[in-house]
């Protein structure tokens, strides 16, 4: 019953963009304290009814972690990874009710714990027990106003930290003596100027600070634990190739991992409520990804606490030995769609005699059966094309230096491309999409951060937060990016700056063959760069020598391939200057619809954030 109620609450939160009365259930003393403040009071009756006046002032869009049990489960789950930070300095931005802050303090035992909390009047009574501990200090400022934050990132407050300035030729090192915790959970989503989501903007600036060593990263590579509303996680941690955009790629290039430690259960009901049915992939791909994740967890001695398993994890474990038979791409694609569960329900109702053949329900059932068979036929055709593609790649690899065999395989590839190109548009797109999702998993390491996760997310429940909006905890561990990406600003080669604009173009045309996308960057770039990038063509390096529809798309490019493109770009004698690239980018944006996530944010990637509270 409790699990069913949690799923319904998750689906409700996914469907609405407003605060509703059902989101204000207070199940413990912390939640009741927040509820009694009247800050989240809403009018559920006639419009003439007045809203209760808040007892204290504060931001009523913030979402707080209020469950000690959730925090205990999370801390115990990732405790093996936290031991290296014991005795560190802890910067805690938007601690709010302080439940998570107190639990994190218990395990890290920091020498200093700075709590940056602007709503001190609301939260200080809840933070007082933590403030009694040595080394803790409450500062009434907003930690996401960088001007305020930079006043804290000084020897006065962090006497043990030393700024580390690295040249591009040097390798930045981890700094385990500093940890940052942020709660960026807002509901409804908080807007800032032209951005629909303040959370996404701050996430982008946190990631963008890693390469130049800005903000916290000036002290070395500093781990960040970030709470966000569950619906916001897809932009930085996509689970499919089709959701991999610019922010996700930049995060992959700049981190050892971005791992969702806890979050909402990605059930079909929740996915459907979010309108994300298109953002799913073949069942066998998810099974293989789960198997690899459990192997990593087992090697670290990590097990999922009972009751925190995701629906997919439970389904995976229930397969028993059968799950060993699943290898991504070996079988006909099986993608869960909401109409299949509806069809199964109607079939049971018909067998039970609840409706006859003359009813609307029966006509609906027949329609769904036809839709299912139609989808199955398409899946069979796609599987045949992709199996043939795999045989072509194997033939090219096995040919080695035998040019006669290589040419035979390439002729076969050309014939394959003609037949795929002749497919109906939506079927061709589905074929390429399925290929891309298999490809990103089968790279070493996998392309998506999601497929490299060191733990499977613990399932949260809405009432573990106040308001009852499910949130996700992201564990972000920065890494030393490639030296060529750290050539930023005047006095450098500006290769890092050029890459930002190149990535903009690559991900703006993410489904096109990579040779065509390179031509969008600058006239002649395809001819000048593509032939010299071995990683794009060599199957052993994750490339594809097949032409046309057999080429890699931008959304599948790995870190190694992106660096290869940039290196060849910098060697190209006809490359434009940085100023010319900027002018071309601005010109292109004036005539092209701009995606907020991919474009506006990139323009402010290194700009100071100014948020009015």
pLDDT tens for each residue of 494-528:
999 999 999 988 998 899 999 999 998 899 999 99
Nearest to 285 by CA among 234, 341, 322, 335: 335
For the cut 80, the answer to whether the pLDDT of residue 267 exceeds it is no
Q: Determine the pLDDT at residue 47.
A: 52
Query: Domain residue spans in the chain?
Result: 64-264+457-478, 338-442, 484-603
Instruction: Tally Cβ neighbours within 10 Å of residue 152.
Output: 17
Pick the CATH number of 484-603 from 3.30.460.10, 1.10.8.100, 3.10.310.30, 3.40.50.10420: 1.10.8.100
DSSP state of 278: T
Burial category of 83 from C-beta neighbours within 10 Å (exposed 0-12, middle 13-18, buried 19 and up) = exposed
Query: Three-state SS across 570-582?
Result: HHCCCCCCHHHHH
Residue-wise pLDDT for 543-562, tens only, equals: 999 999 999 999 999 999 99
Q: Vertex 476, ends 473 and 477: CA angle to 5°?
A: 150
Q: How far apart are CA 117 and CA 95, in angstroms?
A: 6
Residue-wise pLDDT for 315-332, tens only, equals: 999 987 766 666 787 888
Contacts of 82 (CB under 8 A, 6+ apart): 75, 107, 108
Q: What percent of the chain has pLDDT over 90?
A: 67
| Sign, Cα dihedral of 572, 573, 575, 579 | positive
Burial category of 247 from C-beta neighbours within 10 Å (exposed 0-12, middle 13-18, buried 19 and up) = buried
For the cut 60, the answer to whether the pLDDT of residue 84 exceeds it is yes
Q: Determine the pLDDT at residue 582.
A: 85
**DSSP3 helix / strand / coil % (the chain, rounded to 5):** 55, 10, 35
Q: Which region, left, alpha or beta, applies to residue 237 given φ > 0 means left and ψ of -120 to 50 means alpha?
A: beta
- Count H helices, E strands: the chain? 22, 10
* 342 confidence band (pLDDT: 50, 70, 90): confident
Q: How far apart are CA 561 and CA 460, in angstroms?
A: 36
What is the value of pTM for the model shown?
0.89
For the cut 70, the answer to whether the pLDDT of residue 375 exceeds it is yes
For the cut 50, the answer to whether the pLDDT of residue 602 exceeds it is no
Query: Three-state SS across 73-106?
Result: HHHHHHHHHHHHHCCCEEEEECCCCCHHHHHHHH
Q: Determine the pLDDT at residue 601.
A: 36
The answer to whether domain 64-264+457-478 and domain 484-603 are alike in fold is no
Q: How far apart are CA 315 and CA 53, in angstroms?
A: 47
Q: Determine the pLDDT at residue 610.
A: 41
Through-space distance between the first and last CA atoms of the chain, rounded to whole angstroms: 40
179 vs 52: which has the higher pLDDT: 179
Residue-wise pLDDT for 108-121, tens only, equals: 999 999 999 999 99
Work out whether strand 458-459 and strand 465-466 pair parallel, antiparallel, or are unpaired: unpaired
CA 435 to chain centroid: 20
For the cut 70, the answer to whether the pLDDT of residue 240 exceeds it is yes
Q: How far apart are CA 437 and CA 110, in angstroms?
A: 42
Q: How far apart are CA 438 and CA 338, in angstroms?
A: 22
Which SS3 state, helix, strand or coil, does residue 604 take?
coil
290, 292, 295, 300: CA torsion to nearest 10: -100
Which architecture characterizes domain 64-264+457-478 according to CATH? 3-Layer(aba) Sandwich (3.40)
Q: Please give the mean pLDDT across all residues of the chain.
A: 87
Residue-wise pLDDT for 412-433, tens only, equals: 999 999 999 999 999 999 999 9
Q: Determine the pLDDT at residue 127.
A: 97
Instruction: Tally Cβ neighbours within 10 Å of residue 355.
Output: 15
Q: Determine the pLDDT at residue 90.
A: 98
Q: Determine the pLDDT at residue 595.
A: 40
For the cut 60, the answer to whether the pLDDT of residue 483 exceeds it is yes
**β-bridge mates for residue 116, sequence order:** 93, 139
**β-bridge mates for residue 221, sequence order:** 174
């Amino acid at each position: 019953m409790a699990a069913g109620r949690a799923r319904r609450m998750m689906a409700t939160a996914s469907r609405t963009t407003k605060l509703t009365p059902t989101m204000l259930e207070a199940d413990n003393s912390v939640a009741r304290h927040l509820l009694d403040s009247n800050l989240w009071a809403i009018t559920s009756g006639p419009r003439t009814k007045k809203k209760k006046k808040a007892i204290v002032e504060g931001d009523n869009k913030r979402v707080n972690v209020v469950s000690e049990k959730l925090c205990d489960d999370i801390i115990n789950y990732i405790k093996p990874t936290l031991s290296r930070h014991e005795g560190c300095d802890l910067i805690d931005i938007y601690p709010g009710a302080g439940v998570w802050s107190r639990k994190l303090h218990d395990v890290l035992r920091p020498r200093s714990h700075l709590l940056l909390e602007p709503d001190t009047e609301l939260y200080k009574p809840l933070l007082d027990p933590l403030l009694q501990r040595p080394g803790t200090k409450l500062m009434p400022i907003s930690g996401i106003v960088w001007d305020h934050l930079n006043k804290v990132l000084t020897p006065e407050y962090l006497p043990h930290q030393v700024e580390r300035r690295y040249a591009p030729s040097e390798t930045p090192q981890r700094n385990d003596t500093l940890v940052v915790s942020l709660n960026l959970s807002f509901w409804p989503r908080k807007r800032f100027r032209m951005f629909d989501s303040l959370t996404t903007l701050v996430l982008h600036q946190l990631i963008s600070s890693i390469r130049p060593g800005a903000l916290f990263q000036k002290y070395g590579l500093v781990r960040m634990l970030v709470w966000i509303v569950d619906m916001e996680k897809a932009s930085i941690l996509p689970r499919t190739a089709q959701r991999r955009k610019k922010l996700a790629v930049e995060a992959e290039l700049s981190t050892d991992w971005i791992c969702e430690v806890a979050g909402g259960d990605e059930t079909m009901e929740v996915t459907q409520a979010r309108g994300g049915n298109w953002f799913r992939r073949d069942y066998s791909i998810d099974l293989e990804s789960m198997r690899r994740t459990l192997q990593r967890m087992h090697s670290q001695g990590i097990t999922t606490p009972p009751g925190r398993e995701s629906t997919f994890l439970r389904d995976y474990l229930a397969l028993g030995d059968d799950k060993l038979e699943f290898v991504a791409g070996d079988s006909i694609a099986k993608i869960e769609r909401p109409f299949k569960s509806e069809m199964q329900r109607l079939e049971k109702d018909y067998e039970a005699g609840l409706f006859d053949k003359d009813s609307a329900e029966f006509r609906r059932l027949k329609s769904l059966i036809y839709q299912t068979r139609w989808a199955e036929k398409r899946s069979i055709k796609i599987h045949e094309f992709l199996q043939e593609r795999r045989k072509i790649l194997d033939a090219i690899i096995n040919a080695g230096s035998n040019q006669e065999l290589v040419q035979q395989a390439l002729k076969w590839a050309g014939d394959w491309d003609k037949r795929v190109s002749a497919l109906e548009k939506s079927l061709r797109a589905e074929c390429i999409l399925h290929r891309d999702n298999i490809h990103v998993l089968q790279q070493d390491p996998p392309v998506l951060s999601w497929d490299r996760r060191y733990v499977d997310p613990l399932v949260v429940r809405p009432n573990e937060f106040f308001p009852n909006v499910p949130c996700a905890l992201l564990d972000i561990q920065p890494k030393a990016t490639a030296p060529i990406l750290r050539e930023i600003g005047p006095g450098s080669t500006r290769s890092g700056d050029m890459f930002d604009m190149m990535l903009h173009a690559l991900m703006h045309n993410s489904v096109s063959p990579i040779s065509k996308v390179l031509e969008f960057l600058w006239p002649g770039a395809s001819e000048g760069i593509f032939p010299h990038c071995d990683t794009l063509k060599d199957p052993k390096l994750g490339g594809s020598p097949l032409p046309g529809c057999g080429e890699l798309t931008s959304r599948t490019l790995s870190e190694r391939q992106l660096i290869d493109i940039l290196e060849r770009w910098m060697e190209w004698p006809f490359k434009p200057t940085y100023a010319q690239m900027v002018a071309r980018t601005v010109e292109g944006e004036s005539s092209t619809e701009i995606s907020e996530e991919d474009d506006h944010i990139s323009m402010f990637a290194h700009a100071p954030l100014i948020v009015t509270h």
